[in-house]
Structure 1
Amino acid sequence: MDNNKIISALCYISLLFAPFLLPLIVYFVVNNDEVKYHAKRAFISHLIPVAIGMLLGLFGLLGVFSVYSADTMNGFVIILFAFMALYFLITVILMIWNLIQAVKVLKS
């Protein structure tokens, strides 16, 4: 098996053990264009849940400190849980996508 394919697949699988650290290192260390392409895709797919999670955390903090009554707090909590469920769904989909991409790279 080709070492470049293994490194490319590891960039996708690294979501489970070293998210966006391994693809970033591989992108700057390896000189192969195909490996750089997969490292960049893996890095972006690892960054999406982090960015959404940070926005969700910011939304939660701003909402907690700006709600004054219990009635509006209930509505805010429901919206926050809906966004958390959406975040969880996106994270699971991206995890499955990364694993599928790793298998595709190894099979090609």
Structure 2
Amino acid sequence: YFLGKDEVKYHAKKSLWTHLIPYLIFGIGIAGSGLLGMNDISHAGPFLIATYAVTFLVAIYFFIWNIVKGIKVFSE
């Protein structure tokens, strides 16, 4: 990202964000379940499971997305 040419920087920046988004979702979900757990622990459990599920689905989506975009870039 930092050493590449303009076209490489463009693709590297997009790839960096698609790798960071699942971690951001996970961090926000964990923080949210922690805040819910401070009031009542029974509310934190389902929210924590939902956080894991959404993070997993988003990570799989972006994993496949990056493979498809990588193939498109290499084929150009």
TM-score bracket, normalised by the shorter chain, equals: 0.7 to 0.9
Q: What's the TM-score, normalizing by structure 2?
A: 0.85
Q: What's the TM-score, normalizing by structure 1?
A: 0.63
Letter in 1 for 2:25: I
Structure 1's 62 and 83: CA in aligned 2 closer, same or farther, altered over 3 A? same
Please give the residue correspondences for 1:22-101 in structure 2 after superposition, counting only pairs within 5 Å: 27-30=1-4, 32-67=5-40, 73=42, 75-101=43-69
Is residue 30–residue 51 contact of structure 2 (8 Å, CA) maintained in 1?
Answer: no
In 2, distance between residues paired with 1:41 and 1:54? 20
Q: Which SS does the other structure have where 1:87 is aligned?
A: helix
Root mean square deviation of aligned Cα = 1.6
What's the offset of the Cα at 1:80? 2.9
In 2, distance between residues paired with 1:66 and 1:84? 21
Q: Which SS does the other structure have where 2:2 is aligned?
A: helix
Equivalent pairs, count: 76
Structure with more relative contact order (C-alpha pairs < 8 Å, separation 6 or more) = 1
Is residue 30–residue 48 contact of structure 2 (8 Å, CA) maintained in 1?
Answer: no
Q: Which runs of 5+ in 2 are unaligned?
A: none
In 2, distance between residues paired with 1:65 and 1:40? 37
Q: Which SS does the other structure have where 1:29 is aligned?
A: coil
In 1, distance between residues paired with 2:58 and 2:10? 23
In 2, distance between residues paired with 1:64 and 1:47? 26
Q: Which structure has the larger Rg over C-alpha atoms? A: 1
